[in-house]
Each structure stands twice: as C-alpha cells, then as structure tokens.
Amino acid sequence: MEDPTRPWMAFYGPDVRPDIDTPAYRTLGDMIGAVAATYGTAPAFTTCLPNGMNGTLSFAQVDEMSDAFAVYLREVAGLNPGDRVALQMPNCLSFPVAAFGVFKAGCVLVNVNPLYTAEEMGKQFLDAEPHALVIVDMFADKIPEATRGHPIPNIVVTRIAEFLPALPRGIVGLVQKYWDRSVAEIEVPHIRLPDALEAGRRHQADERIEVEGYHQAVAPDDVAVLQYTGGTTGVAKGAMLTHANLIVNMEQTMELIEGLERGREVVLTALPLYHIFAFSLNMLGFYWMGARNILIPSPRPLANLKRAFENYRITWMSGVNTLFNGLTNEIWFTDTPPRHLKFAAAGGMALQSSVAERWREITGTDVLQGYGLTETSPILSLEPLGKTRSGSIGIPLPATRLACLDDDGKQVAIGDRGEIAAKGPQVMKGYWNKPEETANVLQNGWFLTGDIGVMDADGYFHIVDRKKDMVVVSGFNVYPNEVEDCLASHPGIIEAAVIGVPDGATGEAVKAFVVKGDSGLSEADIRAHCKEHLTAYKVPKRVEFRDELPKSNVGKILRKDLRAEELARTGGA
C-alpha cells in the first residue's frame, strides 16, 4: 500500500523493505566476526600502490588480527569500554585491522585526517581525549607538538606498506627512508602495530581470553565512532555515531542499491577511509557484502589509480565530483575504461551534470548521487539505479523521512523551498560534550541539516542553497571562521573574510578578502602563513585585497554581500 507521506516509495525496487525494524547485527564487533565466518579465506582488503605492488588480507586474517588488537587495547594498553582510540592513517591494510579491533574492544574510534597539521591534531585530541593513537609513521613527527599539555598514553605506529609481502614492504621502506625522506625519527615512546598484535596474541593465549566477551557487553546504542565535523562557527564537534546508527545506515544503503552480488563485488576505495562516506559505505558496507576492497593510499595524481583499474576487476567505486571529472580527462582511463564496472556513487559534494554525462559516455555506467552528513552516518538519500534525475540528490533511504521545513518548523508545500530535515535510525546520538550544539540541530524529532532544498511531487529532493557558510572543496568541509581566525593571526592583516567560490577543479574553492595593514603583504605571503597552520585544502586558493569589507550596522562582516558580488561577477555561475 502506498504511503502518501512517502511518495518516494513508488521508486523502491520490488525487494526493498520500506522500513528496517531490526538491524542485522547488534554491534559492529558482532558483524565483523560473523562476516569473516562466512567468507573465510576470500580476499577482503588489498592495498594497491601506484607501481602495482600490493598486499592482501583475507576476511579470516582481518578477523584474527583485529581480535589480537582488541586484546592489546584492553589487556596490554589497559583501556576500558568507551575509551577513545584515535586512528590517523591513509588507506592501507592497517586501517581495517585497527578500526575493527577498536570495535571489538568496546572502545570508541576517533577518525583523524592524517594530513592535519600538529595544531589541528591538537585541537581534536584535546576534545576527544583519546587513550590511544594509531598513526602512520610518515606523520608521527607531529605527535610531540600535537599532544603538548595533553599526552596520549598509548602510541601505536604503523606503515603504509604494513602487512604487504616482505619484498615490496622492504622496497617501500627504503624509498621512504633514503629517497624521499618522508619518514622522520619518532621521538615519543611507541609500539609498532605488528608488535602490538603479537602482544595481544600472547596475552590472548596465556589468559584464554574470549574476545567476544568484550563486544557482547556493548549495547547497540553505545557510541562506536566520534566523527568530527564543524559548523557555521567552525568549532569542531564530534558526532556520536552509535553501532546501531552505522549498521542500519549500511543496511539502508545496500537495500536501495540494486544489482550487487554478495561475495562477488570488487570495490575501488580511492576516497580516504577516515572520511565518513568511504568509512561507512566502502569499508563497513562492502565488508558486510563480502566484497574485495582495493585500497588506494593516495589518489593524487590520478595516475596512482591506473594499476588498480588494470589489475583488478573493479565492479563498483565511490568518489566525489572532482575524482570523476579528473578520471574523464585522463587519457589512460578514456582509452581503456573499466570493463566490469556496474555503476559508481558520488557524495561529499554536488555531482555536476556535465561530469555525469561524460562519465556515462566513457564507461557506459551511471554515477548515482547521494546526500548525507556526518551526523547521519552519513547517507540520507540516494538516486535509484535507472531512475536518476538531473540535479537531484535522489530519494530517502528506507526507514528515512526527509522534509523541507520553514522557519517555524512546519513542512512547506511541495516544490517550495525549506530547510531539509531528517528522521531515521541513522541520525546521531548528539555531539560529544556539546549539549547546546546538539539542541540546535535536533529539534522536535527532526535533525536540521542546514541545507535548503525542495521536494517534487514524486519525492525526489534537490538542494537549492546552503544555509551554512561552509565551503566544500573536493568533498571536504572548510569552515570560514577557522580560516579567518588563521588569517587574523597574521600581523600584517587588519580584517579578513572567507567565502566559497565556484571552481572547475574542486567544485568550490576558498577565497579570502583581506584588508591589509602592511602595504608589502602579498598573496604568496598569506598563503604561506595559512599553510603553516591549516591543511592544504583549507588554504585560500584566491586572495583579493580590499580597502574595507562590507559590514552590518553592528559591525559584523557580511559574507553574504561578498558572495552576492562574486555571483554578479561570474554571471551567477
């Protein structure tokens, strides 16, 4: 029977459950072991380096190694249930081993961008107060500064080539140490990940520990992940995502994606696993499906993906508009597009229609656009296969309700603009230690997204504007206040304002408007200053010097006026 309040259900496939009452598993720890028992020695994760060197772990190996890490955390490092464990590494075999071990231990995983400066790391560590940190050796030199005043008692160090066969592991180590010198001496007490696993195994054998006992004590509503996001203020907030949030969102998404075969998919993961989109969909969702996951440590330059496409039967991939656009301009990709690809999924930023069309021409497959936020684990809507609509973010996932609300919290008429609000089992528990921020977004049973959209008569949603000032650069969120604070710390800058402007390569780019007090200050000086304090994608790509900035009658800088000027200048692009 059709539900008039959910017109989008007409576009669900015949086997799609409109509601998911009971998740497949109680906790992520339960899921990991159960899936491994099903797929055993089949390959689960493969790290593929740009030159084709690779290493693979089976489902059984990942299960055993994550058991050992769970025992290390609880029995050797002395962590308790609910203690936070920060993970800071690019895509590599260590990531699922460590992450799954954290879940099995009943601890809380905290994803940290490995490209963060020590200053940015320190802010997140100060808020999350992790009891352990698993970090790749390339970035371990930042630890002393990042933990000054709030030390992390347990440091575990891993390598990009960890768990690869001896020969490629040795070659990569030599290149990093002597050729590009990307690994510095580690100045803090630490243990190597393989040694931590061995310590866990010994303790497990000596004490006859049953790892299942750790996660059987965990409840579905317990926090599994602190996933950090910002807001219009730029203040980092840890979204508390529970085991149930992540498991249900994994099920909801896979329920709506038709054509996937358990145990037969080969997934390309070029997006970083510390990003909630790849973390939830690629790592958790496709592990549950029994897929083989091809991990790309760095997708830049795009030639780094060439050997993965050549050597593996890629059937599915996720990405952002920037990635799809870039691949369609690579000769090696256009000359020999992937032959087994079924379709791809786009998230993190708007998918440009021209890019989607070019992708379809080259590969013969669709890119399905989705929509979600960190706070929603993350996916809220997705385009059904074969039922895409230009510019749409698709229809709500099963067990999800979306609505467009006015300023009084009432639903607007079909086709009218309103703030998109969401209800569903994937909505976060709240923000870590921030009850006021939680109350601002969780109101009357709805999660307020801050995005302005419309719903058509069929239940398809479209984003028409952004209520937040957030800038999205290649799928990564940049918050103007954070960049403005950095600019304000420069002695030669009097005032600064930051907005997002259209950019063909990254979707949006950061633009800074600066009133300078030092006449000799240059754009290069400003960018150099920002690079000392901010991750590369947050550094202003463009700088415009002004004598003054537009302000309200109370002296507040008006970013909206600057955006309006930019729109007028670019013809509304």
Identity of residue 571 = G
Average pLDDT over residues 396-424: 95
pLDDT of residue 76: 97
pLDDT tens profile 490-527: 999 988 999 999 898 898 999 999 999 899 999 999 99
State how far the Cα of 513 lies from the Cα of 557, in Å rounded to an integer.
Answer: 11
pLDDT tens profile 42-85: 999 999 999 999 999 999 999 999 999 999 999 999 999 999 99
Is a pLDDT exceeding 50 seen at residue 358? yes
CATH architecture of the domain with residue range 401-466: Roll (2.30)
Bridge partners of 85, per DSSP, are 109, 132
State how far the Cα of 195 lies from the Cα of 133, in Å rounded to an integer.
Answer: 15
- Least reliable range by pLDDT among 108-122, 160-174, 531-545, 549-563: 549-563
Within a 10 A sphere around the Cβ of 177, how many other Cβ atoms? 13
- Least reliable range by pLDDT among 166-175, 264-273, 539-548: 166-175
State how far the Cα of 124 lies from the Cα of 228, in Å rounded to an integer.
Answer: 8
Q: Where are the alpha helices (DSSP H) in 232-274?
A: 243-256
pLDDT of residue 552: 66
Average pLDDT over residues 414-420: 93
pLDDT tens profile 468-496: 778 889 988 888 878 988 998 899 998 89
Structure tokens at 71: 């025992």
State how far the Cα of 216 lies from the Cα of 33, in Å rounded to an integer.
Answer: 12
pLDDT of residue 484: 87
Average pLDDT over residues 380-392: 88
Q: Name the nearest CA neighbour of 349 among 455, 447, 472.
A: 472
State how far the Cα of 231 lies from the Cα of 237, in Å rounded to an integer.
Answer: 8
Residue bearing tokens 């006449």: 519
Q: Which CATH class, in words, describes the domain spanning 56-218?
A: alpha beta
The dihedral over CA atoms of 200, 224, 285, 475, expressed in degrees to the nearest 10, equals -110
Average pLDDT over residues 94-103: 98
The DSSP code for 495 is E
Q: Name the nearest CA neighbour of 68 among 36, 92, 104.
A: 104
State how far the Cα of 567 lies from the Cα of 565, in Å rounded to an integer.
Answer: 5
CATH architecture of the domain with residue range 471-569: 2-Layer Sandwich (3.30)
Residue boundaries of the structural domains of the chain: 56-218, 401-466, 471-569
Contact yes or no for 12/256 (Cβ under 8 A): yes
Average pLDDT over residues 338-343: 95
Q: Name the nearest CA neighbour of 310 among 282, 330, 332.
A: 332
pLDDT tens profile 182-229: 777 888 999 999 999 999 999 999 889 999 999 989 999 999 999 998
Q: Where are the alpha helices (DSSP H) in 377-445?
A: 435-441
Structure tokens at 332: 């090696």
Bridge partners of 403, per DSSP, are 421
Q: Decide if 401-466 and 471-569 have a common fold.
A: no
Structure tokens at 173: 């180590």
State how far the Cα of 51 lies from the Cα of 168, in Å rounded to an integer.
Answer: 10
- C-alpha angle with apex 392: 388 to 398, nearest 5 degrees? 75
